[in-house]
Structures are given as C-alpha cells and as structure tokens.
Amino acid sequence: MSSAETVTESLAHRPRRADALRNYELLIATARAAFADAGTATSMEEIARRAHVGIGTLYRHFPTRQALLEAVYLEELEGVCRSASDHAELPPWEALTGWLHEFVRYAGTKRALADELLAYMDSDAEVFTRCRGALYAAAAPLLERAQSDGVVRSDAHLTEVISMVSAIAKMPSENPAQTHHILDLALDGLRYRG
C-alpha cells in the first residue's frame, strides 16, 4: 500500500459497500467541481443538489463541512502522490521535474481549500502532518534517483526542494505558465554542475 493510500484510508474513512462508495465518490467529485466553480464557501446544500442526492446522504458521509473539505483535500493529495509513480518511468531529471510541475499545479489549485481547512485546524493537525508525509514519501525516490544518476546536486535535501517548490506555487500569478517558467528557473539550480 502506498503512503498516499495510507493517508486516505486512515483519515478519509471510505465506505465499504458498493452503493455507499459510489455516493461517497460522487459527493467528493461534486464538491471538488463546486469548489472550483464557486469557491470553498459553497454550501453543503448546493453540493447535495449538484450531486442529485438528499442532504441526509451528504451528512451521512460527511457529518461536518470540515469532514467534506478534508476528504476533497485528501483525494487531491492522493492523486498527486500517485502521479509520482507515473513519472518514475521517465529519465531521472524528467521524472523529478515533471512531478514537481505536477505538484505546483496541485498546490496552486488547492490553496483556497487548504486555507479553508486552516480555519478549522492548525498546520500541525494530523491531516496536514500525514499529507506532508505522503508528499515526501512520493517525492523522495524521484530525488534520490536523480541524485544517484548525477543529474541533481547531492547537497539538495528533499525538505529544501519541497519548500522551494511550495513557495513558488504560492506566488500570486494570473498566468500559470509564468509560475511554471519560474519553477523551471529555480529547478535549474538543482542541476549538478561537475
């Protein structure tokens, strides 16, 4: 089991019955779309209406707004962690930088969701701690492989790389292409120059 699956299995409490799992996944997808369309302040009633389920169904799966926000956040995190294995087949430099670009896309779109969660809990809450652990577990093999191949500086630590990329993702920008260009400039500093 991957660390991303561990995070979501232990925190999201996915239902086991097929019909309940379908409703759970439908509600997550609907909430994700609603938050993207109208922001994280979208009401629980609006999410149930968009999903074509009763409000009771929504509250059975997500008894609080915080529970729904956490579940959407965890699903998105699981996707970005899982994408690390998709990049693993690429050459080491392309694998690392490709995944870091994926991470920037994820972080840029999830900023409002994380900010909303921070209204309910602090940054050291279990959900954030486990999410950080899953991200580091996904990124570590990519960085280690690039360093072993000699294409990334050996003195670059994973915490530094994640911090740098996270800061770039948080930069205000109207143009995602500009953010990715800035990321490329920063990543060029990771290259090994013998």
pLDDT at position 12:
56
Residue-number span of the structural domain to which 7 is assigned: 3-188
pLDDT at position 119:
78
Distance separating alpha carbons of residues 4 and 113, to the nearest angstrom: 18
- Tell me how many domains the chain contains: 1
Q: Does residue 152 sit within a domain?
A: yes
Distance separating alpha carbons of residues 96 and 114, to the nearest angstrom: 24
Q: pLDDT per position in the chain (194 positions), as tens?
A: 454 455 545 445 677 788 888 999 999 999 989 988 888 888 999 999 999 999 999 999 999 988 998 889 888 889 899 999 999 999 999 999 999 999 998 887 677 777 778 777 887 888 888 888 999 999 999 999 999 999 999 999 999 999 999 899 888 877 888 999 999 999 999 998 87
Q: Does residue 193 sit within a domain?
A: no
CATH number at 173 reads 1.10.357.10
Q: Does residue 194 sit within a domain?
A: no
- Name the pTM for this structure: 0.80
Q: Does residue 55 sit within a domain?
A: yes
Are 161 and 104 contacting, i.e. CB atoms less than 8 angstroms apart?
A: no
- The amino acid at residue 119 is A
Q: Which of 33, 189, 18 is nearest to 113 (CA)?
A: 33
